[in-house]
Chains A and B, each alone.
Chain A
Amino acid sequence: MSTFTTRTALPRRTFLRGLGCTLALPLLDAMVPALAAEAGTAAKPVRRLGYLFMPMGADMTLWTPRGGDKLDELPFILESLAPVRDCVSIVSNLEIRNAYPGTHATSNASFLSCARAKHTESTDYFLGTTVDQMAAQQIGRETQLPSLELAMDMMQTVGQCDNGYACVYQNNLSWSSPTTPLPAEAHPRIIFETLFGEGGSRAQRQAALRKRSSLLDFVKDDISRLERELGGADRERVGHYLDSVRDVERRIQKAEQSMEENSLPDLDRPTGVPASYAEHARLMFELQLLAMQGDITRVFTFQLARETSNRTYPEAGVSDPHHPLSHHGNDPEKIERMAKINRFHVSLFAEFLQKLRATPEAGGTLLDSSLFLYGSGMGNPNVHDHMNLPIIVAGGAAGGMKGGRHIRCEQPTPLANLHLTLLDKAGVRLDKFQDSTGKVDGLFEPLGI
């Protein structure tokens, strides 16, 4: 026994009060007797987390599944999820109070932070650390990159963007501290180089690692000689340099080892940005899949388009720009066209899930050990509200994800509750996140105690 854990298990009844979402009885980590987790009978943390943001809400009548708790009949927007139905659940009646007064800027900013954005258009902006970054601190420590931030828009705006909010709120999903937005990258080549450097075939990548390794051997020998030349405190410092050399050595060995273990295909560096949105988005999903396969990083955020985006989607048969369509004024034709855009975005996500499920890794598939949150920080874009948000949770067996369900919260429930639930699955133990009031129950299989 390595450590003594003295935490007492709490009775489940303690938590039955005040929780809105009722599918199964809540079963929180604190209820698991302290030693159970170590015995390995309880939940295994998921390996990776992904957050996907779609802008400007959705038409909720064409989004919300009808019928009971099971996802038997998928509504118009979600139809493409049919092949992965068992791996997804829809969660209804979530809201972000801190996004009010309703704006596009806060829809984006609060989605992963659930924090109230300081109303400023200058550089004194202040938000909150986002959940992906909290997860990165926990499950991102072991990998080459703690997290990866992706977007589809090749633009950067400054100054005032929406109702007196600085553009950073509208551009950045991910914040590593309340004052540090993490800019997302949309250029496939730049992302590729961040992940894989030059890439190439397995043999070429192995050769590149060998080159680094022989250069490092040179450094090691070079610095060791210095150790002999210096005395006292200086020698101690050289000792630290050698520690660094050994650390980098380990990284290279890890990369070599992961190359043995992971069946990454030949990696060809993309050169340009595909002209069509769908092609560009598929390439971005492909890069995420490769990053997972190579275990380069375990935390992802991906903004499918920015709030107030005026992109048109000819691939989905919509030639109107998105933002004006979202202010549809309840015109059924406009609603239908907007819903087509929502449906198109979801279909790209569904494709991605299928690919993940088809990609094996040790002990299962990539999807098995991943969890994804897909959704928007806005509910009905026509009125800029931030309640009854369109939210999908997707994931595999490792986290005990119970798919194929529609979870309705009886009362409007903070989105922060869902964030807390997913963080918990990644091993981040928090009692509270922003305005959270508990966790979302029923998403996961009860743990065997």
Chain B
Amino acid sequence: MKVLTLLCTACFAASALGQDAVRPLVGNHCIECHDAGTAKGKLNLEEVLAEDVAKHSAIWEQVVRRMATRQMPPASRKERPAEAEYEAAVAALAGRLDADAVDHPQPGRTETLRRLNRAEYQNAVRDLLAVDVDAAALLPPDEASHGFDNMSVGTLPPTLLDRYITAAQKISRLAVGAAQRVPGGETIRIKPDITQQERVEGLPFGTRGGAAVPFTFPQDGEYEVQIRLTRDRNDVVEGLHGPHDVLVLLDRAQVKSFTVRPPGDKGHDLVDAHLKFRLPVKAGRRELGVTFLQDSASLLEDKRQPYEARFNFHRHPRTAPALYQVSITGPFSATGPGDTPSRRRIFTAQPHPPQDEMACAQKILAPLLRRAWRRPVTDADVGRLLPLFEDGRKDGGFDAGIESALSAVLVSREFLFRVEPQPADATPGSVYRVGDVALASRLSFFLWSSIPDEELLALAGRGELAQPAVLEAQARRMLADPRARQSLVANFAGQWLHLRNLDGITPDGRLFPDFDDNLRQAMRRETELHVEEILRNDGSVLALLKSDHTFLNERLAKHYGIPHIYGERFRRVALGPETQRGGLLRHASVLMATSYATRTSPVVRGKWILENLIGTPPQPPAPDVPALDESLVSEKLPLRERLAAHRNKAACASCHEFIDPPGFALEHFDAVGRWRSLEAGLPVDASGGLPDGSLFTGADGLEAGMLQRPEIFATAFAEKLLAYALGRAIGPQDAPAVRQIVRRAKAQDFRFSEFVTSLVTSVPFTMRQAL
């Protein structure tokens, strides 16, 4: 009977006060703990129950979240609402909150001034000047907050400004191909824990190890290449037991070969001293390959070794020499700036007669400035660059003038910052539609991590971009561009799924002797390719959770115990259930990123799942919660029993009863993501659960449990995507927009593009609150 009443009230909830639908459920199930007196978790529902739901939306959004994920009332309570009761209450509450959001949109406020982060800076330079730079080498790292590095970008400390100036000078010089006073150079070091026994992707078959190094040669001229081989701690060149051929390739064509030989009874000091030569190179981006000729003798020797990893002479010595570093120095006897993509992009006009240099400079700079500043520019705007052009021209001619003006463009605020000032007439607290020009940047930085292209700028210039149909069409067009996949995989998925953390993780060498950087990179690649496939095919994001195939190369396949996969190349591999693979939760990348160096951590894994896949991040332990007394919990006990001590303490239990069970379900995967049936000699106990109270065993159960209510995962995904798109933390006021996105996506089988198109037309993306 009660259920029936609830269902009925749900029908008109959107227009009614809302609390009518909720009051019985709250009264029966919630108020005991969340009354004014107890107010568990500092939540007091008693005082808001009498008023309109919309008046206390932040509180009721919390209630919606906890009830939608069935976390409240907690599973430990004997009496919980029936499923239909839950659904009705959530629908009623959310309906009322959504209706109010339509009447009173709350778009939140993105920062007025947001600096480009390193990835955006690098992409913007690429799209503006057709020159590839490594922003990580030019600028300090960005701080991340709320999981992404495009949020804490409001400040401009002096050191950063200093680096921006240096970077602008370097980039503009490289882009115009200016002459250098003395030869410059770069030294590229290979990570020391890379095994170099196999062919490296991008280098020819029949080669082994080494690296393919992309390098922008600043001018036509001669360059010196010097190669050094890896030495062990005793300064002995590793793996040099016989002669080996070293090959040097420029854009995949062999330009030089050397032979290195063991030095006999002499020291190894000079073994690689002769690996040095000069060659003429045309300006521009080229790939320098340095590698070894594969020889069958060492191949055989290799197969006898117990481990794949080969980089440290104590545990797993190299059996063949490896590349340590490549130095490129030059140009010597430079013959000119050459014909490079960046020069073709920049010098769209040439001054003749020379008298009209100024006019020509204006002609060159105006379109560049428009792209750099992402808006229509005036003659006055271009005019501000001309004194710098003149300065440079006086010293070094027309090209130097352009170089000087370009460096000013690269340090200008409208290039370095995304500025979204509010309309002058906006009253504080009011909301307004973001202008077309700002929308163009919002779109391009979201989907490309870069500046808008001509089409976006043109639409914005004509004032057409804000139309929802145009926005959607543009989003679809941009998603089809490879830049979208590249940046969403690297910057969104890389941070959302913690893939970026992998580089900082090295499992304990004694326990996991077969770990090397090759494996680390392969782990990351699997997840990246999995995400990329969904983007490319516009598949359902639920395929992230469960998949009948994955992407493997030989190294990772061996790690997973999957046979018949050979070579460094990644390929799509169909999986049977016996492989225990497919789906994020079985990716070694995720499993390692959520483990300690020596062991798995169900707590870290559980927290990762709650935070990133379920969308209910656990609160950090309150300051008055005592730490677990380690001395009372024997080291000898299995991990599960040690953690049980957590849940015997009331202060710990209230959170850990949610956190630990999903993590326990993954206990069949060890700290580097390998499958195991035994842990410390005992059969693995992978019984786990979800915060909704469901209980199951293993990853299968966890996946099934999460797919039972796919909106939960879709909501978590949409929130992460929205946070990334806006560059700000998501709050309760964004919940109606998130629900709208999820509703639309659900109607289209959770296709990725539906998330994106409904996101870019949502209130928080297209509107802003005035201050």
Q: Which A positions have Cβ atoms within 8 angstroms of B?
A: 121-124, 153-162, 167, 170, 187, 189-190, 197-200, 204, 207, 211-212, 214-216, 218-219, 221-223, 226, 229-234, 237-238, 240-241, 244-245, 247-248, 251, 268-269, 271-272, 275, 306, 308-312, 319, 321, 323
Contacts and interface: CB of A to CB of B under 8 A. Distances in A.
A234 B598 CA distance: 47
B217 to A, nearest CB: 16
A201 B166 CA distance: 19
For chain B, give the interface size range. Answer: 35 or more
A215 B162 CA distance: 11
Contacts of B408: 215, 218
B325 interface: yes
16 contacts: A121-B510, A160-B314, A187-B187, A198-B181, A207-B395, A216-B165, A219-B412, A221-B384, A229-B421, A230-B112, A237-B113, A248-B161, A309-B235, A310-B234, A310-B235, A312-B267
B185 A189 contact: yes
A204 B181 contact: yes
Nearest to B168: A215
B49 interface: no
B57 interface: no
Contacts of A272: 224, 226, 327, 329
A237 B249 CA distance: 50
Nearest to A153: B235
A212 to B, nearest CB: 6
B234 A271 contact: no
B231 interface: yes
A212 B165 contact: yes
Contacts of A238: 113
Given A187-B187, A251-B158, A155 B324 contact: yes
Interface stretch (B89-97, B149-157, B449-457, B703-711): B149-157
Interface string B420-451: 01000000000000000000000000000000
Nearest to A207: B395
Contact of B421 (A154, A158, A234, A310): A234
B391 interface: yes
Interface string B197-234: 00000000000000000000000000010101011111
A238 B520 CA distance: 42
Nearest to A155: B231
A190 B419 CA distance: 36
A167 B384 CA distance: 54
Contacts of A237: 112-113, 154-155
Contacts of B182: 198-200, 268-269, 271
Interface in B137-163: 154-158, 160-162
B134 interface: no
Contacts of B185: 189, 271
Contact of B267 (A122, A190, A241, A319): A319
Given A121-B510, A212-B165, A321-B235, A234 B113 contact: yes
B413 interface: yes
B268 interface: yes
B112 A234 contact: yes
A327 to B, nearest CB: 12
B268 A310 contact: yes
Interface string B472-496: 0000000000000000000000000
A170 B183 CA distance: 34
A287 B267 CA distance: 28
Contact of A158 (B169, B193, B412): B193
A222 B412 contact: yes
A141 to B, nearest CB: 13
A147 to B, nearest CB: 16
B597 interface: yes
B161 A244 contact: yes
A200 B181 contact: yes
Contact of A244 (B157, B193, B324): B157
A123 B158 CA distance: 32
A214 B388 contact: yes
Given A212-B169, A215-B388, 8 more contacts: A123-B506, A160-B315, A161-B314, A222-B384, A247-B161, A268-B182, A271-B185, A312-B266
B601 interface: no
A219 B771 CA distance: 27
A251 B270 CA distance: 43
Contacts of A190: 187
Contact of B407 (A215, A223, A319): A215
Contacts of A229: 421
A204 B189 CA distance: 31
B215 to A, nearest CB: 15
A157 B312 contact: yes
A55 to B, nearest CB: 11
A247 B509 contact: no
Interface of B: 112-113, 154-158, 160-162, 165-166, 168-169, 181-185, 187, 189, 192-193, 224, 226, 228, 230-236, 266-270, 273, 311-312, 314-315, 324-325, 327, 329, 384, 388, 391, 395, 404, 407-408, 411-413, 419, 421, 505-510, 597-598, 771
Contacts of B166: 197
Contacts of B421: 229-230, 234
B475 to A, nearest CB: 29
A156 B189 contact: yes
Nearest to A243: B158
A247 B267 contact: no
A190 B181 CA distance: 17
Contact of B412 (A123, A212, A218): A218
A200 to B, nearest CB: 6
Contacts of B273: 275
B155 A226 contact: no
A157 to B, nearest CB: 5
A159 B598 CA distance: 15
Nearest to A121: B509
Contacts of A222: 384, 411-413
A157 B384 CA distance: 51
A237 B771 CA distance: 14
Contacts of A159: 193, 311-312, 314-315, 509
B187 A189 contact: yes
A6 B386 CA distance: 61
Interface centre among B187, B234, B407, B419 (most CB of A within 10 A): B234
B158 A321 contact: no
Nearest to A210: B391
A184 to B, nearest CB: 13
Contacts of B413: 219, 222-223, 226
A222 B224 CA distance: 41
Contacts of B184: 269
Nearest to A122: B508
Nearest to B419: A226
A245 B324 contact: no
Listed from nearest, the 7 A-B pairs whose CB atoms lie closest are: A159-B312, A247-B158, A310-B235, A312-B267, A158-B192, A234-B112, A310-B234
Nearest to A320: B267
Contacts of B508: 122
Given A122-B509, A222-B413, A321-B235, A248 B158 contact: yes
A119 to B, nearest CB: 12
B187 A311 contact: no
Given A123-B597, A248-B158, A272-B327, A167 B233 contact: yes
Contacts of A157: 192, 232-233, 312
Interface centre among B158, B183, B266 (most CB of A within 10 A): B158
B228 A154 contact: yes
A215 B506 contact: no
A306 B384 CA distance: 54
A280 B402 CA distance: 40
A155 B234 CA distance: 11
A311 B269 CA distance: 7
Contact of A154 (B168, B183, B325): B325
Given A218-B408, A232-B771, A158 B112 contact: no
A13 to B, nearest CB: 46
